[in-house]
């Protein structure tokens, strides 16, 4: 089995307030040396399921007396779970949750390390743990996580440490004897990345990662006696990984078999979502290059004038138009999108879709079920559904019956993002939900508005389930009056293909790195704390970094524009904010929606 790319330190992290790096990276970014007190960085790989293992050589370069290293895992909730390895003869080891810094001591973001109460996690609250204490330079720290059973483990020099007075002292790689640190319930399901925190007055402390690429730690250690691989025969570790714990290698990264190019010829990621661009000709025009027959086409004029966002789907049928930036009812454009084809769609001469004189357009396209729908009775309201469970997308249409307060979405798992629109009789807003909202049961986000997160009883104080979305009766935006119809577009995250999450802005041009597990084809970003636009960038309109010179908005009819100082990079494993523009990086919380170009599993670059 090919080894793929192993996890290294991410050189886009470890940034100070002034924008310079507080860490020197070397040896292919496997070596990170602190040049500034109180600085952290992340690994390049992220996981949210399975069992994983990596090693660090705590290589102090003569500054061990002052150097201290926190080593462990950080989640996409912006907080790090760490173990503290004290200097020789120093304080007992400790563990807990502390704020993860994107920037050194950014106090406005709550940036100083802190030890919080045991109510934040389950496990040791600070008792001495001598069998995992680093007692000399060149000790090897072992870090393991079981994301399925919600446990973390640490060890030193081949010995795993117990975490409470009832835990047995482990020897060698017998992690089964160890009562690991439990991941607190609200953190379960997060995406976790390797992380280190350097603390101490002196510079020079070095952490060398081995995620399986080199058991000599760049020649600083004699190769370990194990020279061991993981359970998939991948990697070269100093110590034998615990049974069934895997190397952080792209070859091991999860990807749904349903959309894995090595498993399917006709349903991989690019066959489920794509972005296409064209120039209008004010005549009938077939738009091809989508790569599949789309079921939802979201069109937007780019240049030449201002026209609304338009969505056409195969459930409601061609020529039937909704406008995501407006609260109007469904319209009909007989010369709009007139057909769905095997590789795209056909347009008439309507200026919203295909005007001449050099006007340019873009369409974001998703595949559901080829227009074939079925009746779904999972909820109290019968819905007409076509779903693409492999790619995590469904279209549901339902009609209010005066009392029912839920409808089936057909995704096979709970959605991470959905938008609902009343399509007849009354002009109503687009009302939606996202997994990153502050309040899962009452929070909502409105597509045709720049407003931040709202709070109301639209969802009968229930988050969406694996089968249904809850919609309160007698609420005209989602379920009233009887006989009126609604459409819902719903998505869920699929490893290696799509992701819906949130990040914290830091109001600096060296902004957050967001791990996706793929190179994005399209990213939409929205602040939930204040009135900011729904910002959309894609790699069809911009083919090189940084993105941000051709911005569109989902909530307005504005043409494409180039905001000053608006930049972010689309990378092989996520995106990196490089702007303090308030639309994407104020000191606020942002949600994002992203779909893949290439999965990180198969993208052989960093």
Per-residue pLDDT tens over the stretch 411-455: 999 999 999 999 999 999 999 999 999 999 999 999 999 999 999
Rounded Cα distance between 150 and 542, Å, is: 40
Rounded Cα distance between 237 and 54, Å, is: 8
Phi, then psi, of 352 in degrees rounded to 5 = -70, -20
Same domain membership, residue 183 and residue 52: yes
Same domain membership, residue 47 and residue 94: yes
What CATH number does the domain containing 384 carry? 2.60.40
Residue 125 lies in a domain: yes
Same domain membership, residue 236 and residue 199: yes
Same domain membership, residue 212 and residue 63: yes
Residue 298 lies in a domain: yes
Least confident of 142-146, 314-318, 600-604: 600-604
Under 8 Å between Cβ of 579 and 567: yes
* 3 state SS for 202-220: CCCCEEEEECCCCCCCCCC
pLDDT of residue 540: 97
Same domain membership, residue 200 and residue 338: no
Same domain membership, residue 521 and residue 421: no
- Of 58 and 193, the structure prediction assigns the larger pLDDT to 193
Q: What is the pLDDT of residues 18-38, one digit of tens each?
A: 556 778 899 999 999 888 776
Residue 262 lies in a domain: no
Residue 252 lies in a domain: no
Question: Is 50 exceeded by the pLDDT of residue 115?
Answer: no
Residue 88 lies in a domain: yes
Which of 436, 471, 491 represents a domain boundary (last residue)?
491
Same domain membership, residue 566 and residue 426: no
Same domain membership, residue 134 and residue 49: yes
Same domain membership, residue 515 and residue 388: no
Which of 309, 334, 366 represents a domain boundary (last residue)?
366
Same domain membership, residue 434 and residue 504: no
Same domain membership, residue 190 and residue 68: yes
Phi, then psi, of 120 in degrees rounded to 5 = -85, -10
Under 8 Å between Cβ of 62 and 204: yes
Residue 357 lies in a domain: yes
Question: Is 60 exceeded by the pLDDT of residue 94?
Answer: no
pLDDT of residue 86: 39
- Looking at the structure of the chain, the number of domains it has is 4
pLDDT of residue 305: 79
Which of 491, 506, 528 represents a domain boundary (last residue)?
491
Domain that holds residue 198: 23-247
Which helix (H) or strand (E) is 313 found in, with range? Answer: strand 310-313
Residue 483 lies in a domain: yes
Same domain membership, residue 220 and residue 96: yes
pLDDT of residue 104: 19
Residue 14 lies in a domain: no
Rounded Cα distance between 280 and 302, Å, is: 11
Question: Is 60 exceeded by the pLDDT of residue 387?
Answer: yes
Rounded Cα distance between 356 and 347, Å, is: 12
């Amino acid at each position: 089995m090919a080894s793929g790319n192993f996890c290294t330190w991410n050189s886009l992290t470890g940034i100070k307030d002034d924008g310079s790096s507080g860490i020197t990276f070397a040896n292919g970014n496997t070596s990170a040396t602190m040049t500034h007190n109180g600085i952290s960085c992340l690994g390049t790989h992220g996981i949210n399921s399975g069992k994983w293992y990596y090693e660090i050589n705590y290589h102090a370069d003569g500054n061990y007396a002052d150097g201290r290293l926190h080593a462990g895992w950080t989640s996409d909730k912006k907080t790090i779970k760490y173990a503290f390895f004290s200097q020789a003869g120093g304080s007992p080891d400790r563990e807990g949750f502390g704020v993860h810094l994107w920037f050194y001591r950014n106090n406005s973001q709550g940036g100083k390390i802190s030890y919080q109460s045991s109510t934040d996690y389950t496990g040791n609250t600070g008792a001495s743990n001598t069998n995992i204490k680093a007692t000399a330079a060149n000790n090897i720290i072992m870090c393991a996580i079981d994301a399925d059973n919600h446990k973390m483990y640490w060890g030193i020099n081949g010995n795993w440490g117990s975490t409470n007075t009832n835990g047995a002292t482990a020897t060698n790689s017998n992690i089964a004897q160890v009562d690991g640190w439990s991941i607190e319930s609200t953190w379960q399901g997060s995406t976790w990345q390797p992380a280190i925190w350097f603390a101490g007055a002196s510079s020079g402390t070095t952490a060398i990662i081995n995620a399986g690429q080199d058991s000599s730690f760049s020649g600083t250690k004699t190769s370990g006696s194990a020279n061991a691989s993981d359970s998939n025969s991948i990697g070269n570790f100093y110590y034998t990984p615990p049974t069934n714990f895997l190397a952080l290698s792209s070859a091991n990264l999860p990807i749904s078999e349903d959309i894995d190019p090595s498993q399917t010829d006709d349903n991989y990621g690019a066959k489920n979502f794509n972005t296409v661009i064209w120039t209008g000709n004010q005549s009938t025009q077939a738009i091809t290059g989508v790569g599949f027959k789309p079921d939802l086409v979201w069109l937007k004029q780019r240049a030449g004038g201002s026209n609304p966002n338009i969505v056409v789907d195969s459930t409601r049928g061609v020529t039937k138009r909704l406008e995501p930036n407006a609260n109007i009812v469904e319209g009909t454009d007989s010369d709009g999108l007139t057909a769905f084809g095997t590789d795209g769609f056909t347009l008439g001469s309507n200026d919203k879709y295909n005007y001449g004189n050099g006007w340019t357009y873009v369409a974001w396209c998703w595949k559901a079920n080829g227009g074939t729908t079925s009746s779904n009775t999972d909820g109290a309201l019968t819905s007409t559904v076509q779903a693409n469970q492999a790619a995590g997308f469904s279209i549901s249409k339902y009609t209010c019956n005066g009392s029912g307060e839920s409808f089936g979405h057909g995704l096979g798992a709970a959605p991470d993002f959905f938008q609902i629109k009343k399509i007849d009789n009354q002009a109503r807003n687009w009302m939606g939900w996202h997994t990153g909202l502050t309040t899962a049961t009452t929070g909502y986000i409105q597509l045709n508005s720049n407003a931040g997160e709202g709070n109301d009883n639209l969802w009968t104080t229930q988050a969406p389930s694996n089968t249904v979305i809850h919609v309160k009766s007698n609420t005209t935006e989602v379920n009233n009056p009887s006989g009126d119809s609604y459409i819902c577009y719903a998505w869920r995250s699929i490893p290696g293909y799509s992701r819906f999450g949130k990040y914290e802005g830091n109001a600096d041009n060296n902004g957050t790195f967001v791990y996706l597990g793929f190179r994005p084809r399209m990213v939409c970003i929205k602040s939930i704390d204040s009135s900011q636009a729904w910002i959309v960038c894609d790699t069809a309109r911009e083919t090189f970094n940084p993105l941000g010179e051709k911005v569109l908005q989902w909530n307005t009819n504005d043409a494409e524009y180039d905001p000053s100082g608006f930049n972010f990079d689309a990378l092989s494993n996520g995106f990196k904010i490089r702007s303090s523009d308030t639309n994407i990086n104020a000191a606020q919380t942002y949600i994002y929606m992203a779909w893949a170009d290439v999965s990180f599993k198969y993208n052989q670059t960093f």
